[in-house]
Amino acid sequence: MTEDGCIFCKIVAGELPATIVDEDERTVSFMDINPATRGHLLVVPREHAHDLLSIEPPELAAVTASAQRMATRVKERLGADGVNVLNSCGAAAWQTVFHFHLHVIPRYESDPLTLPWLPTPGDPVAIASAARALSEESMGE
């Protein structure tokens, strides 16, 4: 299934150009045209899914396996010191293309990329409250 106007669906269908570096029956991996670091690429499912909340589990597993394969490759072939795998789900989380995708971002000791927040200790009461809301036991409440 494709969605009209979806840039990633058009890349998967071969209607738009992309630098494809890997593909299989369920996924396509191609270079990001706005790379954060050398070797930054995207892994997408061939089947359109709007975001993390709507992708079917088998497709999610296939994209994750491809992302792992590509992360291994960027470490081995580009000499990356580490790898970030990133998904943005929803506009508030910086999703700009609404076709589920994982960013595979090679990290190098000398690269200037920083996290979007500075981790600091949280309020234990707020953490416990969120944990209660998210736990299996709260499903029936």
Which active-site residues does the annotation give? 101
Tokens 């508030």 locate to: 92
Residue 7: DSSP 8-state: H
C-alpha gyration radius of the chain? 17
What letter represents residue 124's amino acid?
A: P
Q: Count of alpha carbons within 13 Å of 45, Cβ hemisphere only?
A: 23
